[in-house]
A and B are shown apart, each in its own frame.
Chain A
Amino acid sequence: MIKAILIFNNHGKPRLSKFYQRYSEDTQQQIIRETFHLVSKRDENVCNFLEGGLLIGGSDNKLIYRHYATLYFVFCVDSSESELGILDLIQVFVETLDKCFENVCELDLIFHVDKVHNILAEMVMGGMVLETNMNEIVTQIDAQNKLEKSEAGLAGAPARAVSAVKNMNLPEIPRNINIGDISIKVPNLPTFK
């Protein structure tokens, strides 16, 4: 079982949190903070597994994470999951995001939290892996997008909103947007196809 999926940036700001067990909002924040604390102090070239998250789970649980540019993708899983399997799954997730958002970056996750959730919902449901085939996931997401478009109404809004924001005069923005691309392909690990 996957207990929780967390995405946060290099500063520990949550970008997505999905808990498959009920925690109160406060506990959720504590978990995110604790996880960030554990993960962030690790070097780049150490292993991607981490034990000892106190709040979530216990000894049976493990944190499996990957670090892409500005973002940490952390899966908290128990012993029924294959460690390398989950690493591959994170890769699939990121690649799917990359496909759906075209060169995904941290901003995409901020603007489209709901979409990221929708993509995640096609991969993991109730803590169990639903689909590992990227093409299948993308097909479903595309179909849903089409449906959304056909419902019109709000369809144009997000695009307008993005352009509106982009046109705003915020001097700091560029500094923070240029967080590099996170579309990193990890060559060594074969993905599920």
Chain B
Amino acid sequence: YKLKSVQIILNHMFATSFPQAQMSSIVCFPQAKYISQCIDEIKQELKQDNIAVKANAVCKLTYLQMLGYDISWAAFNIIEVMSASKFTFKRIGYLAASQCFHEGTDVIMLTTNQIRKDLSSPNQYDTGVALTGLDLANDIMTLMSHTKPYIRKKAVLIMYKVFLKYPESLRPAFPRLKEKLEDPDPGVQSAAVNVICELARRNPKNYLSLAPLFFKLMTSSTNNWVLIKIIKLFGALTPLEPRLGKKLIEPLTNLIHSTSAMSLLYECVNTVITCNKLCGFFQLCVQKLRILIEDSDQNLKYLGLLAMSKILKTHPKSVQSHKDLILQCLDDKDESIRLRALDLLYGMVSKKNLMEIVKKLMIHVDKAEGTTYRDELLTKIIDICSQSNYQYITNFEWYISILVELTRLEGTRHGHLIAAQMLDVAIRVKAIRRFAVSQMAMLLDNAHLIASNTQRNGICEVLYAAAWICGEFSEHLEEANQTLEAMLRPKVTTLPGHIQAVYVQNMVKLYASILQQKEQAGEKEAAQEITQLMIERLPQFVQSADLEVQERASCILQLIKYIQKLQIKEVPVAEEVIALFAGELNPVAPKAQKKVPVPEGLDLDAWINEPPSDSESEDEKPKTIFHEEEQRHSRHRQPEIDEEELARRREARKQEQANNPFYIKSSPSPQKRYQDTPGVEHIPVVQIDLSVPLKVPGMPMSDQYVKLEEERRHKQKLEKDKKKKKQKKEKRGKHHRHNSLHTESEEDIAPAHHVDIITEEMPENALPSDEDDKDPNDPYKALDIDLDKPLADSEKLPVQRHRNVETLKSPDSEAPLVEKKSKKPKKKEKKHKDKERDKGKKKEKKVKSSKHKKKKHKKEKEEKSKDKKKSKKKSHHSEEEPPESVQNGTLEDEPLPVSSCAQTYDIQGNLQNDSQVTVSVIFENKSTSFLKSMELNVLDSLNTKMLRPEGSSVHDGIPVPFQLPPGISNEAQFVFTLQSIVMAQKLKGTLSFIVKNDEGSTHEKLDFKLHFSCASYLITTPCYSDAFAKLLESGDLHMSSIKVDGISISFQHLLAKICFHHHFSVVERVDSCASMYSRSIQGHHVCLLVKKGENSVSIDGKCNDSTLLSNLLDEMKETLSKC
């Protein structure tokens, strides 16, 4: 049976490999039928108990998945196969899972569990195959230190996916990842390099500190893949740290000269050109690139051009010198190469060569075969010309004629692009309007050529622009009548609706200006004629199927009928009509609205009126009718017959123009643009006398403008030369040469027209901000994490603490509380002081060439003395008092002639070793004598040891580095090492010192005890209730509880006591019940549920460590029993 099913699937595979089957595959009935048969078979097989049969079926499903069949219905069976005991089957299951499972798959929990199980398998390939599966397991961290390199490298690689998914895991895992860079196995090393390079590519600045390590790898590694990755990484790092560039010269040169691998060589060159500091070397690389481009190997040619485009950003000059070569590449048969060359052209243009380059491109447009490439050329021409606010265009007549020439392209998708350019230029470049209007009128006149096939032809979009320009700037129109007639042709009704709508609207504008013209000339008949023409032709638009066209046309028809009535009465109407369209329409920067600060006290989200009950809000206008934003301006302009209404409308229109300016399609960064060109309006604009009649449409005319422009430039040059000659007659000879050399340079070519950037384009009080340029959804942004900052408590991964505590870098430190108690009879005071303060500490770490600031990390400092009643009065030198451990910790002094009373200790986590603590003790001399030669010694326990200088024995004390005059206090620090924190600790100690007073010196001793209570290892950590709930659900915690009777204090007070003495924080409080949280310095979570009954309190605790918990609860019981 098995054999048979295999046969079936193989048959099927054959069927699909037949070319004949291939041909008909789109509609092929038999095949679809065949596959559904196959799927039925597979379903049968999946029902079998035999795992081998199942696995085989799943294997077939995987194949079907490749062919595009959804196999998620078999998800459960796939998991069954994944859980097979045999590697052969397991692997099949995993393959299927990796091909078709995703986050939305409903069996994903089962999958995760299965992966977990397999990850802990003793068989290396089982584990390996599980790793290949999915990236959901957090346990991978552990596997990164697996004994087998095979597993290590897979674990390292998969970490990247984990980081992407859980960015918060990056910081805890990073030290380990870094370690792997120096793994003995080259495979693991390469995996780590891969991962870090991928991470660093997104946020290079966070990885600068790794530069020395990579530098070492680069000089030592022989693996080309690793080298390429590292070199690419350096390419990303050097712009951030220029000094790196110099360091890199030597190894890179070595590599360039020694490597035989082209890939490595290319990457070296690529990186060199990104470090712009390396001048001499840089030229060499550019030369190398030229050789690459000239190479016959197409791949190298492509890459050469690619690298050139990188240089272009930094050194446009050095690319421009290779213009010949790049233009030559435009003729290459390979489209990839042509596109690359096109990209380069974008950056190579200057005022001088723009016309020449565009001319070349236009020739290519004519020659191009495929529409895709031709469209690409078209967009490039427009990009090149319009870049940085038409910076390189010196003659806009030329540009307009180029645009007009482009309208001859049939079947292009980019009609709207051309249209947008026409509109933009006509609006921004005031001086060009007359010319633009004449050209547009010509376009309208020849609309039948452009719009021959409107359905598929995107180019008819230009008519949109043409109609609008002719209407809006109708005052420049010479043959207005003719244009109006062109717009009223019946053929127009075949155009797309949105274009017709613009036609109708602009007809009225045109009509209004003709009317005015005629009235002023006193030609009443002509005026009436034109009105009649309108009334005759408009009905064809009134009948339009397009609602927008229909509505506009009928409004306008009514208006014109009304005008006709007035005309018959011989009332002059032109002024009134033209006033309908008075006012300038100014461009507005695309982001202008966003930049207007919201006035104080204005809440944009608040309702002005009560929200309407149903959903009929104004937002739901049929937007689809308005094809483009540009149309919005005309929406409110429906004229009315009523005179009053007209006046009102007029007013409203003015108002609207003031408030709601016309929106122009975006062009590159308008904000910048207007900042760069201040006061352009004051620059006189050169007018060109148009001697050439522009009659023939669709003829290449741009050449004429090239000639004109050349003449103009020549004139300009001559003028300038004259000027300069005049100015500097004395040094004429020298300067003459200078001039002739440089007149052709950029600066000397003054543009014929200036782009008007009207200041209204941006609101006056615009806030300069570019924040909106960033994509908030960038998944890699989450990985922008400062990796050198030490880990905070909250960042540790909960899973880690079981497994790899030893490698966790942690600033946490032990927090034992030390108290010294004064036994001085005079001072029977009660002290209660507990202070916590954070102290910032800056560490600067210099790593070879890179400097990196270590983030401040918290140190905890606590001061504490305790409230204890001293019941006994004792004389000096009394016997030791039994230790009373009330709360966090005590350091009990023997009564003394000296009363050292205040105790301060400072917990300072040691970065290298988190089991070290520093205890600072403040000694205060309360006697009247002078104290010197103090020495502190502590009797070490197994768990807690005082750190002594090397070479000294456990019996040696540590000298206190100061002396104490009477009444003075000072602080000394002692380092302790600890292992476990689950138990409270008491250390006996002695302070020996010499008391010096008038009578002489005596040697004194003071015994004390250091009490490290469990609560003192806790650090008050805030915790959110959902995180708290998750923690409790996780089920890793041990549980224990206590009950204390006879509590009289208020619940509030009680909670405060627990917070204060035991370092907890309240997570949530409901009536007389509260949940509290704290964590130990070694990362144990401690959760409490405190409930107050009548006169009693019960506390349920949960903690990772049962010993710690029970000790903590005991301590708590003691505190509470005192209440």
User: What residues of chain B lie closer than 8 Å to A128, measured between beta carbons?
Assistant: 157, 160, 191, 194-195, 198
**Residue from A42, A46, A126, A144 within 8 A of B135 (CB atoms):** A126
A18 to B65, CA, bound (A): 11
**Residue from B10, B66, B260, B299 within 8 A of A87 (CB atoms):** B299
A49 to B16, CA, bound (A): 28
A14 to B17, CA, bound (A): 10
**8 Å CB interface, B45-92 against A:** 52, 55-56, 59, 62-63, 65-70, 86-89, 91-92
Are the CB atoms of A25 and B68 closer together than 8 Å? yes
A113 to B926, CA, bound (A): 86
Q: Is the interface of B mostly helix, strand, loop or mixed?
A: helix
Which of B261-269, B618-626, B690-698, B1099-1107 faces chain A? Answer: B261-269
**8 Å CB interface, A84-140 against B:** 84-85, 87-88, 106, 110-111, 113-114, 117-118, 121, 125-126, 128-133, 136, 140
User: Which A-chain residue is minimally distant from B59 (CB atoms)?
Assistant: A114
A1 to B68, CA, bound (A): 24
A1 to B197, CA, bound (A): 10
A9 to B160, CA, bound (A): 32
A126 to B164, CA, bound (A): 12
User: What residues of chain A lie closer than 8 Å to B52, measured between beta carbons?
Assistant: 153-154, 157
B225 within 8 A of A: yes
User: Which B-chain residue is minimally distant from A149 (CB atoms)?
Assistant: B88
Are the CB atoms of B88 and A111 closer together than 8 Å? no
Are the CB atoms of B88 and A153 closer together than 8 Å? yes
Are the CB atoms of B91 and A85 closer together than 8 Å? no
Are the CB atoms of A144 and B95 closer together than 8 Å? no
**8 Å CB interface, B113-143 against A:** 123, 125, 129, 131-132, 135
A34 within 8 A of B: no
**8 Å CB interface, A136-193 against B:** 136, 140, 143-144, 147-148, 151, 153-155, 157-158, 160-161, 164-165, 168, 170, 172-173, 176, 188-190, 192
Are the CB atoms of B95 and A117 closer together than 8 Å? yes
Are the CB atoms of A126 and B160 closer together than 8 Å? yes
Which of B1-9, B488-496, B703-711, B845-853 faces chain A? Answer: B1-9
B1096 within 8 A of A: no
User: What residues of chain A lie closer than 8 Å to B18, measured between beta carbons?
Assistant: 172, 176
Are the CB atoms of A164 and B6 closer together than 8 Å? yes
A25 to B67, CA, bound (A): 8
B232 within 8 A of A: yes
User: Which B-chain residue is minimally distant from A173 (CB atoms)?
Assistant: B14
A28 within 8 A of B: yes
Are the CB atoms of A151 and B88 closer together than 8 Å? yes
A88 to B223, CA, bound (A): 13
Are the CB atoms of B161 and A130 closer together than 8 Å? no
In the complex where A130-B153, A132-B223 touch, is A125 in contact with B65 (Cβ < 8 A)?
no
Binary contact track B392-410/A, C-beta < 8 Å → 1, others 0: 0000000000000000000
User: What residues of chain A lie closer than 8 Å to B267, measured between beta carbons?
Assistant: 82, 85
**Residue from B17, B100, B198, B301 within 8 A of A13 (CB atoms):** B17
Are the CB atoms of B22 and A136 closer together than 8 Å? no
For residue A22, give the distance in angstroms from its CB to the closest CB of chain B.
4
**Residue from B88, B103, B160 within 8 A of A148 (CB atoms):** B88
A40 within 8 A of B: no
For residue A148, give the distance in angstroms from its CB to the closest CB of chain B.
5
In the complex where A83-B303, A126-B135, A192-B225 touch, is A161 in contact with B160 (Cβ < 8 A)?
no
Are the CB atoms of B17 and A126 closer together than 8 Å? no
In the complex where A14-B66, A47-B302 touch, is A125 in contact with B154 (Cβ < 8 A)?
yes
A110 to B62, CA, bound (A): 12
Are the CB atoms of B66 and A84 closer together than 8 Å? no
B750 within 8 A of A: no
A16 within 8 A of B: yes
A113 to B87, CA, bound (A): 17
A106 to B19, CA, bound (A): 14
In the complex where A45-B298, A154-B52 touch, is A114 in contact with B68 (Cβ < 8 A)?
no
For residue B264, give the distance in angstroms from its CB to the closest CB of chain A.
8
Are the CB atoms of B3 and A80 closer together than 8 Å? no
For residue B279, give the distance in angstroms from its CB to the closest CB of chain A.
25
In the complex where A83-B299, A126-B158 touch, is A22 in contact with B102 (Cβ < 8 A)?
yes
In the complex where A47-B337, A173-B14 touch, is A129 in contact with B132 (Cβ < 8 A)?
no
Are the CB atoms of A29 and B303 closer together than 8 Å? no
In the complex where A80-B232, A143-B125 touch, is A136 in contact with B17 (Cβ < 8 A)?
no
A171 to B262, CA, bound (A): 47
Are the CB atoms of A130 and B154 closer together than 8 Å? yes
User: What residues of chain A lie closer than 8 Å to B87, measured between beta carbons?
Assistant: 144, 147-148, 151
User: What residues of chain A lie closer than 8 Å to B6, measured between beta carbons?
Assistant: 157-158, 160-161, 164
User: Which A-chain residue is minimally distant from B5 (CB atoms)?
Assistant: A161
User: What residues of chain B lie closer than 8 Å to A160, measured between beta carbons?
Assistant: 3, 6
B40 within 8 A of A: no
Are the CB atoms of A190 and B299 closer together than 8 Å? no
**Residue from B17, B56, B153, B336 within 8 A of A50 (CB atoms):** B336
**8 Å CB interface, A6-64 against B:** 9, 11-14, 16-18, 22, 24-26, 28-29, 42-43, 45-52
10 tightest A-B contacts by CB? A84-B263, A47-B298, A29-B68, A46-B334, A161-B6, A47-B302, A22-B102, A11-B22, A82-B228, A151-B86
A-B contacts, 7 of them at CB < 8 A, read: A13-B16, A110-B17, A125-B157, A154-B56, A155-B88, A161-B7, A173-B14
